[in-house]
Amino acid sequence: MAQHTTVNLSAINKQIVVPTGLFINNEFVPSVDSKELIHAVNPATEDVICSVVAASAKDIDIAVAAARNAFKTTWGKNVTGFERSRLINKLADLIERDAQALAELEALNNGKPARIARDFDIGDSVQCLRYYAGWADKIIGQTLEVDNKSKLAFTRHDPIGVCGQIIPWNYPINMWAWKVAPALAVGCTIVMKPSELCPLTALKLSELVKEAGFPPGVINTVPSLGHVGGAALAAHPDVDKVAFTGSTITGRKVMEAAAKSNLKKVSLELGGKSPHLVFESADLDQAANWAALGICYNSGQDCTAGSRVYVQNSVYDKFIGLLVSKVKAQVVGDGLDEKSGGGPVVSKTQYDKVWGYIEAGKQEGAKAILGGEKRPGKGYYVDPTDEAIALANDTTYGLGAGLHSSTPTHF
């Protein structure tokens, strides 16, 4: 049996204490039957910074049972919306208090700049929690007029029950908040599986869940390999809803497992291949700013990344020149360096995948006009690379788009 402990991680002028067990019933515990560990890697150095317990299918069962018991006894319809709102706001306060430490932990495990994690990811997460806290006491139904005066018809909204939540590695804190906030607001309980690549901030946030005063079992955190924990949650007969953010391929598997088990409700946010359309009437400097931000932000690891750019021929050369200047200004470095505007990609697998795309583009005739060469030394760094592409193929992926023009009929 793997033993639970904590580890001290060195960050900017401080040590961050990180729990490494499974968070079930408000306690960090070892696995009941597995010695498997998940090794958290710092993508800036390629070093293993710590190892955490990997949940087994039996651990998932225990976490689901804890969530079900909490739903029946101490959460769900057993607490008022006012109390749910108070606890969610308290959690937001604690995250805001610990924003710097959480941001540095995110930088260590994910690679993104701590400055960006603190000011954007965590800032948005706090805002999200407070927004849904405001809704917790405003969940109402309606009465319906019927022909028979002796009858009363009305509707009410009840929490669905236990929610399995599977989040990705590109925005670990942000995705955690966007999953838990609405579920908590309406009275659902949660079994959260963070990405095996970036489990550390979810575990640290679990400490704050307990400190905020949530009853045991309301939020349970079970780091696990996707084919174990994710599959178990999607197929679990006592999970009422599963929410997944990640790849389209895995999303299909989640939907299939949910349908084959108890026909549980499913929410999926999947991959994108988002375009920018730049017309000659556009403010080209502004369009170049947005296009650079769209593909470089978060090291391009974003489901809405603007990974295709269509430019009207008459302004193509001018736009490319502007875009190159914007991308050149990107400073890619260690996430703990306050000067970094972008960090390494999250893992060796992701690093190899990105370079595979760059090399494939070259072989298919694309011309690298910036970057396109690997950095020497340690770290999964991919310097910003632009490729001059006449036209991309149609795609089944969506999620976002940018249109740059001053002509109203283009919109």
pLDDT above 70 coverage of the chain, percent: 91
Q: Which domain holds residue 397?
A: 275-410
Mean pLDDT value of segment 87-114? 96
Please choose, from the candidates 136, 129, 130, 132, the residue with its C-alpha nearest in 3D space to the C-alpha of residue 81: 136
**Residue 89 sits in the same domain as residue 219:** yes
CA distance 115 to 117: 6
CATH number, domain with residue 218: 3.40.605.10
Specify the DSSP class assigned to residue 315: G
Is 11 part of a structural domain of the chain?
no
Domain count, the chain: 2
CATH number, domain with residue 355: 3.40.309.10
Place of tokens 């072989």: 363
Is 47 part of a structural domain of the chain?
no
Q: Of 215, 242, 269, which residue sits at a domain end? A: 269
359 an active-site residue?
no
**Residue 74 sits in the same domain as residue 215:** yes
Mean of the per-residue pLDDT values of the chain? 88
Q: Where are the beta strands (DSSP E) in 148-288?
A: 153-155, 162-166, 189-193, 219-221, 241-245, 265-269, 275-278
Mapped onto helix, strand or coil, the DSSP state of residue 228 is helix
> Tens digits of per-residue pLDDT, 4-32?
688 999 888 889 999 999 999 999 999 99
At 330 the pLDDT is 81
**Residue 245 sits in the same domain as residue 285:** no
**Residue 119 sits in the same domain as residue 261:** yes
Rg (alpha carbons) of the chain, rounded to whole number: 23
At 411 the pLDDT is 52
**Residue 238 sits in the same domain as residue 293:** no
Q: Where are the beta strands (DSSP E) in 25-75?
A: 27-29, 37-42, 47-53
Is 29 part of a structural domain of the chain?
no
At 362 the pLDDT is 77
Q: From the CB of residue 222, how many other CB atoms can be counted at a distance below 10 Å?
A: 28
- The structure's pTM equals 0.86
**Residue 316 sits in the same domain as residue 228:** no
Looking at the predicted structure, is the pLDDT value of residue 179 above 50?
A: yes
**Residue 183 sits in the same domain as residue 162:** yes
**Residue 336 sits in the same domain as residue 260:** no
Q: Of 234, 269, 304, which residue sits at a domain end? A: 269
**Residue 219 sits in the same domain as residue 258:** yes
Q: Of 247, 269, 291, which residue sits at a domain end? A: 269
**Residue 257 sits in the same domain as residue 324:** no
**Residue 94 sits in the same domain as residue 186:** yes
Is 36 part of a structural domain of the chain?
no
Place of tokens 């651990």: 59
* Catalytic choice (106, 196, 207, 269): 269
At 388 the pLDDT is 39
